[in-house]
Amino acid sequence: MARPEDLEPAAAIEAAGFPPAEAAGKEDIRQRIETFPESFFVAESGDRLIGFVNGAVSDEIALPDSAYHDLSGHDPEGCCQQIFGLNVLAEYRRQGIGEALMRHMIRSAFIRGKKAVILTCKEHMIPFYTRLGYTLIGKADSVHGGACWYEMRYIFRPYTHTVQYYETDQMGCVHHSNYIRWFEEARTDYLNRLGIGYGLMEREGIVSPVLSVQAEYRTMTRFAETVDIELSLAHYNGIKFTVEYRVADHASGELRCTGSSSHCFLNREGRPLSLKKARPGWHEILSACVRK
């Protein structure tokens, strides 16, 4: 996160990276660092600041021009992470730094429970953001700096699964055991989005077995139907965690199943492992994800 001492170099990078009519002034950047340090991230080379990405949070799905200078609309509990700017010093471009900053912002927004990340960009930047998972909405209403801007959104969608024929039973509905497997699919996807997937865990000598799992079935799911599987981290104490699941029909939203699973962390020898001690960065991520 940005610190007060990052103001001077950040202002210099902003001035070098955008035309005067588009660049945020030093005072604007100071207010941003003070107002939302949790969504103002910097990249450094040694002790030198070489890039940053920043933006406020709002319930508005659009990004009005006024937001760049008037931060009164910033709501930390809002559902949309806005992007005010992505800046990298010219001599450090084309090295993956901008992409790394943006991916970090996306992951941070996901951890904080946001529904979307929104930005406006010029036409030549559309392929870059598309590669990162953004969807082009169209020309924006923005007249910021007298330029033509395009609106793009990164939407955090629930994990989806389309029922396969082998998953159904003689009654024509999904066999109850498959919901447990869907829980695992969604959980695997969730951990991957957090950047701490099972593959990485195993390479680091950590395993996370299932301690218990339960499901409550509400309505039948049938062949070729698609379901959304939403989950939340209900409990985490550094050694154990509990995940809760909600399975609903993708088209109608009808609830099909709810459930939960509990897990722990073990080392290669099968002994309980505290992430707080062994992987403090992972511990911070999971702690931030626990449902409030």
With a CB cutoff of 8 Å and minimum separation 6, the contacts of 61 are: 80, 116, 118, 153
E-strand stretches of the chain: 40-45, 48-54, 57-58, 80-82, 85-88, 116-121, 135-139, 150-155, 159-162, 210-217, 226-236, 240-249, 255-264
| Catalytic residue chosen out of the listed positions 169, 189, 228, 249 | 169
CB atoms under 10 Å from CB of 84, counted, come to 24
Q: Length of the chain, please?
A: 292
Q: Are 245 and 260 in contact (CB under 8 A)?
A: yes
CB atoms under 10 Å from CB of 88, counted, come to 22
Paired sense of beta strands 80-82 and 116-121, if any: parallel
CA distances from 134 to 119, 128, 129 (A): 9, 9, 5
* Alpha carbons 128 and 110: distance in angstroms, whole number: 20
Q: Are 283 and 197 in contact (CB under 8 A)?
A: no
Token digits of residue 13: 């990078």
**Closest C-alpha to 240, from 279, 266, 277:** 266
Task: Tell me how far apart the terminal alpha carbons of the chain are, to the nearest angstrom.
Answer: 22
Q: Is 169 tagged catalytic? A: yes
Residues serving a catalytic function are: 169
